[in-house]
Structure 1
């Protein structure tokens, strides 16, 4: 192996007499006046001039190879002294593979101590180009002391920017990762290994080699190491790796998020038990938690990974600055209530300036009321903590400093445990800063990824703040608030609370003012459509029927909902039917369908030219241009056709409801709609959508002369007198397979929309077996049976028979089971008399 010192230099033993005369040797490197790079310098011979400094002040100079004075290696190992500058060459030579392992260990310890004196001393070591390779070779030693010292020296070398590449080229990364994979390592070896790799990871070109599936699981395990420095280093190392997006995927797959979330959720401020359990002091744990937060913040920049972070019980909260909280003025003398606004019949004797009375209230409820919901108690405790921080002026403060500077993103965030994060966001909604309010509302929208999260915001009182902010003067605030309400309304429970808070009037106003913003209009329609969802109505009907007051709930729902649809709102919805996209048309039609329960709203709908609106929906452009768009991608065209089918089915249900009113029938042209619907039945929209169209066509045909549109009387006669009776008998059979085949064929016949076929099914006694089929049949048979019964319900003469056959209990069971057929069952329930 090539030595650092050129081979033509042979050091000779020193004369002991010179040592006795109190002399010492200095190595003076005589450099050429020419500048050399590090690489060229290693390949260039340099003269070493041995200078003897005598006691009499004279200087004797010899040019040529000489042996340096021996150095006390034991003193180096104990740390009592460091090698002199001129001894570096000797200790590098002692790292050679031909030396005794103990001497190599002592030499690397001495060099490690020497390197700790500063960067210029690292420069002195790196001048010997084999020093890095020889040090890396020592990592294979069985001695923990030698490994730790070698890693410590590599750590010092890698701390200098220009030397990181040399360390990487020596194969140190692979060797260190292999070393960390050993079953037993001392804390010192772990610490120095991690710090060395951490230094190297600063260079983004080396991160791909470092952040691999072998190292990352080891780093995650080190987060639970017994040594606090190892934990801290592992956390900081992961935070550095997380700053590069190309590391995110491999980090998440290695399980970084659950481990970091566990550290971040450790309650340092309120209890030391967790810190003691983790065998780490509180101050160190705070540092580790800070690194964990930084790591998760970087990962949360990706939307998918942000969801994974929130699933671990954490929440991203915007940092709005301590100044924004100065406007926070909670009512101190108001009656105590839960965060969602529910009043509590208890008043403390003394009101606390900082909210201690609320904390005591929560404790009292926890102790004395075992029936109190845990979610309400937790929300109260979290609200009290956040209000206390705001009143004390220390919110968003950590160790006396503003924590806003910790985040690396432009719009800065922090991460809090779920309860505290929810309470903090609700607190921000009550501030005056428009930017802070908008950011908090957007954060609520982004966090509403599950029913648990939505209910948590409801319990914390977010709904009443959001409804209040619908009237805010800022367009940005209103858009963010509607976005938050739209995401929260996905939950049926939260949706009912949103309606109770009086959201309909502000939403209608927002809808009127949203003509310039498609996004605002879409989100507003989503909320209205969910509030006026027939499934919510049927659940209310079910609850009312169980209490024995069935029939009153309809009046309550109508008075709360449709009374808010004034003429301007109805005109806007009809305008959406005429001009908007199929998705918006579907939502507008659903809202208007619910409004048809009120006689007062019918006049508004008719006066708004609803006939033209329905005509526009039934003439979807994508159905007319299908032949011309065959060159488009099949998937894109299919998606457009499906959206058109959904809009048409919603409009068909609306038309079906309108046909129950004489005022509408007297002002419309049924023949025009029959022609459009028959054309739609021959189109390529999905069969499920055609069922609604056929039912509407049956309703229209019932007001016309029977057999008006028969094209082939012979085929119709065969269908009426042979096919339909045969299929009904087959449905009565006990074979599920035969029943399914028969009901599917019968549904295909009924879906043609011929009213005589529908009447024939009822005349042949098909209602009773169909009701029995939806109770016991297969899923496919139940769907087809519901479609046929819905067609039958379009003829009012069939209603008593359907009810007598026991349809209500069967339909309620389908709705409660939340099967795919539940929505069709809900519409059938709405079509039947209450």
Structure 2
């Protein structure tokens, strides 16, 4: 179903060359177009723009005042209605244009007057008359289009220097493009290119802009023309028009962008053109705008939000996608009736004055009198209070989503969304979490997960009280709600501050119960392990100390003093954690340990990493390590150390998708590093050492050390391998093959990376001194390892920059490298010869060693 468009009315004035022969010099066209009320489609479809149902004639001689016409509105009171052109008919209470008076007699005449050989004024008056005539509806457009080639003459007038002619030509194209049959003809006639040139003019009247952009609005209904509009030079002009001072131009530009967003291929082009900040600005509460442009901006952004990355950009601009659940769902809302107020996150305000006032003024006036020296209420808390108050008020009076009551039948199965500013959106989502509609709760939790993209909004959800409600939802019997709640908590737990509150709210027990379930989806297990791993992170406390944001605890004296005493906010998270934090005993029961060990045996490195991190944490803080050892932990570690991706170097992924292969190797490296750290700690137990096959694990770790996992993942592998080797008894450092392998495959590569990438001269010098020590102690193949790592060039470079100690070490290493003639060309290519000659000629302390090195080189 397509919408029709009526144009602003104009007076038809006879061409000055034909005034003596024509008797219609004072003829005025006055008609009324009535749009039948359309049925709204289930999914949002492209919309056509059309103005008011009633228009009056204007005098062409006087264009000083512009008549703004309202659209045929839908039930929302604004915007374009969805209707077919056939639904438009002349009004019965106005004069109907007779085909014998104008349609048959003068349409052909006006078409002929558009010819290029006619006078410009005649062409202008002819196009104006035809534009006016086309406003009658589809049959009048058909009367014009029966003349072959008329479209080309109309498009040609877009180049006219007369604003009246350009406006009429664009308006006529707008009327013609409303009819499905002729939309292809308009696009193929070069109208889009001509409109682009028209809009590029430096000074263009708003009336012309409106008609031209509305033509594009009609053409963008068809997907085959959207690509031409999006890929052309007109898109930047449309984005710029969103900021136009004229409201009609802004609405038309927003309509085109909304239609373009319906095609996925245009999303990246629109985002690169900067459409998201422009449209998001129109939806903020501090920006005024018409209802039509706000609606079109919302529709366009909602289409872009279907892409995960573009949704992040929309949220960054201060908007939150919120599910539309229907006003009926809010009827279950029951506001809490508290005798004393509290903040949205559950923090209570201390009541210091116990004697009640006669009229309850102590409660009513609480917070109106604030001592600025003692009060320190963060912006996030203030926004949470304001948002909760506004949304609860709308829910109480039944005004939430009231305009969508007509869509209730669709909302039961659809996934409609709207966009709200941060303050309102966060409060609305938290409000939905407390309703009875299970599908609405699940959708709200999913929306919280999608919106939690930065620290600011995570703190906003914490202050709004989302954490407590989400933790409670983990006990739900609805699997969709549980999965959505776990996903939301996992995204919120990225913040160290919110993660601490999640732990304080008692999330451990519900997560442990989930892990004990025999049938558990992989996605649910992954998210649950994510939360437990972050809670169990041994570095969490250190991170919180260096975190530069608010730590959530009480700073100073967050007090608000009323007329009858002081009221202090007592929500210190540290105090809450003393009472709410669960002990680790509930986590370390045999059922959970067994489930974690089984997780280690899965082929998914990410799950292996998280399960290993949890076991690693509790193996340290729990004195009963026997619980973990008795769960056959060595079998799980054995699976982690045998990553398939490291063995299959001839796979299709390795040869055809190197980026994917590198990513998989990195994930395997994280899992191996975490398992090596746990294995190292378990080696402190004699019982564990007696159970394992030392030779088997030594072979596995040695192979991993030689593999191509990232170098930083080999740290714990090397440490574990050294500790495992020491269990067989003391040996000399480099007679031990394990130590030799660690040196060649971990120590030397790490020192070479430090030499090549460090920005600090002291670190480079320390690496060179350590490399010289390793070579001097006679490690076999150490010089070959240095040369293969590309160490010759940075060594020569450091000779000119380093201290005397570093120069001595560099010369010693290069001398050892020169013993192999294969390294001579590389040493010379690095520019060592002139550097060594300068040292010899300047009689520096190292001149003797430099001279010996020069003699070994073929110079």
Displacement, 1:709?
A: 10
Partner of 2:154: 135
Structure 1 residue runs of 5 or longer lacking an equivalent are 1-11, 20-72, 268-273, 545-553, 753-776, 782-834
Match among 628, 632, 655 for residue 605 of structure 1 = 628
Change (3 A) 1:170 1:688: closer
1:189 aligns with 2:213: no
Are 1:328 and 2:345 matched, yes or no? no
Counterpart among 322, 325, 342 of residue 317 in structure 1: 322
Q: Which has the higher contact order (CA 8 A, sep 6+)?
A: 2
Residues 685, 377 of structure 1: CA spacing in aligned structure 2 closer, same or farther, 3 A cutoff?
same
Q: Which residue of 2 aligns with 1:115?
A: 134
Aligned position for 2:574: none
CA 1:565–1:335 in 2, change beyond 3 Å: closer, same or farther? farther
Is contact 1:365–1:377 with CA below 8 Å preserved after alignment? no
Structure 1 residue 158 displacement after superposition: 2.2
Query: Residues 223-238 of structure 1 correspond to what in structure 2 (within 5 A)?
Result: 223-238=242-257
Q: Distance in 1 between matches of 2:161 and 2:410?
A: 42
The 3 A distance-change label for structure 1 pair 167 and 362 is farther
Structure 1 residues 513 and 78: alpha-carbon distance in aligned structure 2, compared to 1, 3 A threshold: same
Q: Is the 8 A contact 2:326 2:411 kept in 1?
A: no
Query: Retained in 2: the 8 A contact 1:589–1:651?
Result: yes
Deviations 1:120-175 (A, max 9, x none): 22222222224333332322222222222222222222222222223233322222
Aligned counterparts of 1:144 and 1:176: Cα–Cα separation in 2:
13
Match of 1:523 in 2: 527
CA–CA separation in structure 1 for the residues paired with 2:490 and 2:149? 66
| Higher deviation after alignment, 452-461 or 496-505 | 452-461
Going from structure 1 to structure 2, the CA distance change for 1:383 and 1:106 (only over 3 Å counts) comes to same
* Deviation sequence 1:7-59 (CA, Å, 0-9, x none): xxxxx99999x99xxxxxxxxxxxxxxxxxxxxxxxxxxxxxxxxxxxxxxxx
Answer with 1 or 2: which has the greater Rg: 1
Alignment partners' CA distance in 2, 1:95 and 1:358: 78
Does 2:258 match 1:245?
A: no
**Within 2, Cα distance between the matches of 1:740 and 1:666?**
38
Kept in 1, the 8 Å contact 2:325–2:411? The answer is no
| Equivalent-residue separation in structure 2 for 1:627 and 1:193 (angstroms) | 59
Give runs of aligned pairs for residues 60-99 of structure 1, distance below 5 A: 84-85=102-103, 86-99=105-118
In the alignment, which residue of structure 1 is the partner of 2:434? 430
SS at structure 1 position matched to 2:620: coil
For 2:672, which of 625, 641, 648 is the aligned residue? 648
Instruction: Give 1:463-482 correspondences, 5 Å limit.
Output: 463-482=467-486
More helix by share: 1
SS in 1 for 2:624: helix
Counterpart-to-counterpart distance in 1, 2:116 and 2:706: 87
Residue 769 (structure 2) aligns with: 742
Partner of 2:241: 222
Distance 2:126 2:648 in 1: 84
Conserved 8 A contact 2:654-2:661? no
3-state SS in 1 of match to 2:267: helix
Determine if contact 2:672/2:713 at 8 Å carries over to the other structure: yes
Q: In 2, Cα distance between the equivalents of 1:186 and 1:629? A: 61
The correspondence for 2:491, drawn from 487, 493, 501, is 487
C-alpha spacing 1:529/1:747, structure 2 compared with 1 (3 Å): farther
| TM alignment of 1:92-491, pairs within 5 A | 92-267=111-286, 274-275=287-288, 285-333=290-338, 335-345=340-350, 370-398=375-403, 401=405, 410-491=414-495
Q: Deviations over 1:40-94 (max 9, x none)?
A: xxxxxxxxxxxxxxxxxxxxxxxxxxxxxxxxx9988789998633122222233
Residue equivalent to 1:58: none
Measured against aligned partners, the alpha-carbon deviations of 1:173-211 in whole angstroms (never above 9, x if no partner) come to: 222221111111222211211222222222332222333
Give yes or no for contact 2:508–2:582 (8 Å, CA) kept in 1: no
How many angstroms apart in 2 are the aligned matches of 1:395 and 1:442?
A: 20
Native 8 Å contact 1:94 1:103 kept in 2: yes
TM-score (norm 2): 0.67
Q: Structure 1 465/193 Cα, relative in aligned 2: closer, same or farther at 3 Å?
A: same
Do the aligned partners of 1:383 and 1:460 also contact (CA within 8 Å) in 2?
Answer: yes
3-state SS of 1:315 partner: strand
* 1:312 Cα offset (Å): 0.7
Q: 1:464·1:501 contact (CA, 8 Å) conserved in 2? A: yes
Distance across 2 between alignment mates of 1:287 and 1:627 = 59
**Cα 1:244/1:499, change in 2 over 3 Å:** same
Q: CA deviation at 1:600?
A: 4.2
- Greater shift, 413-422 or 129-138, is seen at 129-138
Deviates more, 1:678-687 or 1:530-539: 678-687
CA change 1:663–1:105 in 2 (3 A) is same
Which residue is equivalent to 1:34?
none
Give secondary structure in 1 for the equivalent of 2:474: helix
CA distance in 2, matches of 1:296, 1:617: 44
User: Which residue of structure 2 aligns with residue 574 of structure 1?
Assistant: 597
Cα deviation for residue 426 of structure 1 reads 1.1
Structure 1 CA distance, aligned partners of 2:166 and 2:653? 70
Q: Which residue of 1 aligns with 2:26?
A: none
Q: 1:560 aligns with which of 583, 605, 615?
A: 583
Shift of the 421–131 alpha-carbon distance from structure 1 to 2, 3 Å rule, reads same
Tell me the equivalent position of 1:785. none
Farther off after superposition, 286-295 or 356-365: 356-365
Distance 1:149 1:598, change over 3 A: closer
Q: Secondary structure in 1 aligned to 2:459?
A: helix
* Separation in structure 1 between the aligned mates of residue 342 and residue 680 of structure 2, nearest angstrom: 47
Deviation at 1:704, TM superposition (A): 3.5
Residues 129 and 375 of structure 1, relative CA distance in 2, 3 Å threshold: same
Cα distance between partner residues in 2 of 1:376 and 1:240: 39
Identify if the C-alpha distance between structure 1 residues 164 and 360 changes in structure 2 by more than 3 Å, giving closer, same or farther: farther
Mean Cα displacement is larger for which, 646-655 or 382-391? 646-655
With 640-649 and 592-601 compared, the bigger mean Cα shift is at: 640-649
CA RMSD of aligned residues (A): 4.5
Q: Is the 8 A contact 2:115 2:123 kept in 1?
A: yes
Write the mapping of 1:786-825 to structure 2, written as runs, cut at 5 A: none
- Structure 2, unaligned runs of 5 or more: 1-16, 24-56, 64-93, 552-576, 780-801, 807-859
Distance 1:304 1:423 in 2: 24
- Describe the SS at the equivalent of 1:564: coil
Question: Partners of 1:314 and 1:390 in 2: how far apart?
Answer: 21
Question: Aligned pairs, how many?
Answer: 651
Report the 3-state secondary structure (helix = DSSP H, G, I; strand = E; otherwise coil) of the residue aligned with 1:316: strand
